[in-house]
Amino acid sequence: KAGVTQTPRYLIKTRGQQVTLSCSPISGHRSVSWYQQTPGQGLQFLFEYFSETQRNKGNFPGRFSGRQFSNSRSEMNVSTLELGDSALYLCASSLAVKRNHEQFFGPGTRLTVL
């Protein structure tokens, strides 16, 4: 079974631009979450989607948004990029059944903002 895939793997953008990252969950997984990882702040939760609905959102500005499609694939968008948005963006998927919330992560997208 294929794991969580994320595209692109690397991105270089300049301040003020916008970027869209894509995540394909493990087949059959309905929950997709996004995290930002930086050396200073560690791993921080961005948002979680289930059945095309955002169920939970972290403490990030409105420049960070996301969506989920009917096939459970998800995208996140960051508008008006800032230098501080440089980070590894990780996507995780979960089968989302009963009390088993085990989450499986993709390889991440490394975003560099110049």
Partner 1 sequence: KQEVTQIPAALSVPEGENLVLNCSFTDSAIYNLQWFRQDPGKGLTSLLLIQSSQREQTSGRLNASLDKSSGRSTLYIAASQPGDSATYLCARTADSSYKLIFGSGTRLLVRP
Binding-site ranges for partner 1 (CB under 8 A): 4, 6, 31, 33, 35, 42-45, 48, 50, 55-56, 58, 88, 90, 92, 94, 96, 99-108, 110
CB of 95: closest distance to partner 1 in angstroms? 11
DSSP labels for 23-62? Answer: EEPPTT--EEEEEEEETTTEEEEEEEEETTEEEEE-S--T
| Shortest separation between residue 108's beta carbon and partner 1, angstroms | 5
Q: Minimum CB separation from partner 1 for residue 110, in Å?
A: 8
Work out the angle at residue 52's Cα, subtended by the Cα atoms of residues 49 and 55, and round it to the nearest 5 degrees. 35
Residue number with CB closer to partner 1 (6 or 72): 6
Angstrom distance (rounded) from CA 88 to CA 73: 19
